[in-house]
Structures are given as C-alpha cells and as structure tokens.
C-alpha cells in the first residue's frame, strides 16, 4: 500500500490534504479516487485513508481508520556511531532505518578524522534526516528515526547509558559476547555504541565502563566502522523477536 508521511497536525481532522512532494509522488503513482493509502505522522501513528480528490496539486484524503503502526519494533534501539569519514554515516542511517532503529546518534571521539563544524553539521543533519525519511518510506516504517549529532564523547556516554541495555563494542574485548550481554531479555531500550575508523581509544573504553556501558565483542573478525553498528542492530532485532 502506498505510504506518505505528514505532520501530526495535518492528521488531526477527518480529512487530510497533501501537497508538495507528497502530491508529486501521488501524481507519479497516478492515484485515483477511491484508492486506499496510508498516511503516517512519522512518530508511530498512521491513518488508513481513501482518496477523495486529486487535482494534480492537492491530494484530498478521507480518514477511515487511525492506529499504531504495525511495522515498528517493540524494542527501541539507538545506534551511536562516532563520526566516520566520507559518506559512511549516510549508509548506516539508511540501513539502520530499514532495520528498525529508533534513532541514530553521531558523536566525536579521539580518533575521528571527520569533525564537522557547526555550519557544515547543520547542512549534514538536514541531509541525514532526509535520508532517514526516504528509507522509512521505502521500508514501510511508521516512524522516521531522528538523526542526532552530539557535541562530545562524554555526552554520548551519558545519553547511551540511560538504556535498559547500554552496549559498547570494542575489538580488544574477548570475554563478553553480544549474546551474553543480551541474555535474560526483558529489555525495551538498547543503546549500541561503536567507534570510528581506527576504533576507540583504550581510555575511552574505560570511560564507557565507568559510565555504566557493557563492553562487548562482535566476534573474532575486525569489522569496518560502518559494518559494526548494522551487525549489532541486526543481532538485537533477532534476539528481540523482530526477525
């Protein structure tokens, strides 16, 4: 079924009017009166609607039913990734959204080569959020994950530690596996923190432990910085029964 995203206030009444990019999309799809579509508020609520009228510029829909999105994961997984080089974060945002991530959080760490300034970061955040929105629409999500950039590593640790399961992945950890860290279940929120190219510094790992994060291994092989968060996210979703 065709899916659109709109602002929550646009879904408040018994009818919905979509314009702009949504109307252009409807034009490409050649939607006709009587067809059913889903309109999501980007935060987990969706409306089943029927096309009432479309004049090429405005798509008027009649709301038939309101419900919680059936495609959102029961577990809220936050992906924390140190700023990587080039467009690697864009790849992670797109794929993490498809896999069901609740949010994607970028932060600086000691070995980060990429350190965007305030001006460039604002533009990047706009682009990253559009990538998340596009991936959410393509994958049938009812919620668009927020893409957040933090100002410090300490801030990332403090925020990540608030989850039921707060996990960091470190290539030199050998004792604790992800399976062990997730044992016992009963979690509703999970934080997954990974480093940049070159990994995290040993002192940063100790800081994470002190902040309350569980340090884990993702196996015997060294994963690229853009592979590790997606690997961990997939494993958590499997353990939570989402796959």
* pLDDT tens digits along 14-60: 999 999 989 998 998 899 999 999 999 888 889 999 999 998 889 99
Encode pLDDT of 74-84 as tens digits. Answer: 999 999 999 99
Superfamily per CATH, domain 76-239: SPOUT methyltransferase, trefoil knot domain (3.40.1280.10)
By CB neighbour count within 10 A (0-12 exposed, 13-18 middle, 19+ buried), where does 4 fall?
A: buried
The secondary structure of 18-84 as a DSSP string is: E-HHHHHHHHHHT--TT-EEEEE-BBSEEEEEEEEEE-SS-EEEEEEEEEE-SSS-SSEEEEEEE--
**213 has a pLDDT exceeding 90:** yes
The pLDDT of residue 127 is: 96
The pLDDT value recorded for residue 43 is 87
Question: Which is nearest to 105 in space by CA: 159, 43, 51?
Answer: 159
Residue 12 is predicted with a pLDDT of 87
10 three-class SS: helix
List pLDDT tens digits, range 190-210.
Answer: 999 999 999 999 999 999 999
CATH number for region 3-68: 2.40.240.20
Cα(77)–Cα(104) distance, integer angstroms:
9
pLDDT bin (cut points 50, 70, 90) of residue 1 is: confident
In the chain, the N- to C-terminal Cα span, in Å, equals 21
What dihedral angle (degrees, nearest 10) is formed by the CA atoms of 216, 222, 226, 228?
Answer: -30
**Cα–Cα distance, 157 to 109 (Å, whole number):** 11
For residue 108, give Cα distances in angstroms to 79, 114, 115, 116.
14, 8, 7, 9
pLDDT digits over 106-126, tens only? 999 999 988 888 889 999 999
Domain layout of the chain by residue ranges: 3-68, 76-239
- The torsion defined by the Cα of 77, 130, 91 and 240, in degrees rounded to 10, comes to 20
**Mean pLDDT over each residue of the chain, to the nearest integer:** 94
> pLDDT-based confidence at 156, cuts 50/70/90?
very high
Dihedral (Cα; 172, 176, 182, 183), 10-degree rounding: 170
């Amino acid at each position: 079924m065709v899916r659109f995203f709109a602002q929550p206030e646009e879904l408040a009444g018994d009818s919905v009017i979509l314009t702009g990019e949504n109307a252009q999309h409807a034009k490409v799809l050649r939607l006709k009166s009587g067809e059913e579509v889903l309109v999501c508020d980007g935060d987990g609520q969706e409306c089943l609607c029927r096309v009432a009228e479309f004049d090429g510029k405005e798509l008027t829909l009649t709301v038939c039913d309101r419900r919680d999105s059936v495609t959102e994961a029961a577990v809220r997984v936050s992906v924390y990734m140190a700023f990587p080089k080039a467009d690697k974060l864009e790849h992670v945002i797109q794929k993490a959204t498809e896999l069901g991530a609740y949010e994607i959080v970028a932060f600086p760490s000691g070995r980060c080569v990429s350190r965007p300034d305030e001006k460039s970061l604002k533009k990047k955040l706009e682009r990253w959020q559009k990538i998340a929105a596009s991936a959410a629409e393509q994958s049938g999500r009812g919620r668009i994950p927020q893409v957040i950039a933090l100002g410090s590593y300490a801030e990332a640790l403090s925020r990540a530690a608030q989850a039921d399961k707060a996990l960091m992945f470190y290539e030199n950890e050998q004792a604790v596996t992800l399976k062990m860290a997730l044992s016992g279940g009963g979690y509703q929120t999970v934080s997954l923190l990974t480093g940049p190219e070159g990994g995290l510094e040993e002192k940063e790992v100790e800081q994470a432990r002190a902040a309350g994060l569980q340090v884990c291994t993702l196996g015997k092989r060294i994963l690229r910085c853009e592979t590790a968060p997606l690997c961990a996210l997939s494993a958590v979703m499997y353990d939570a029964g989402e796959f």
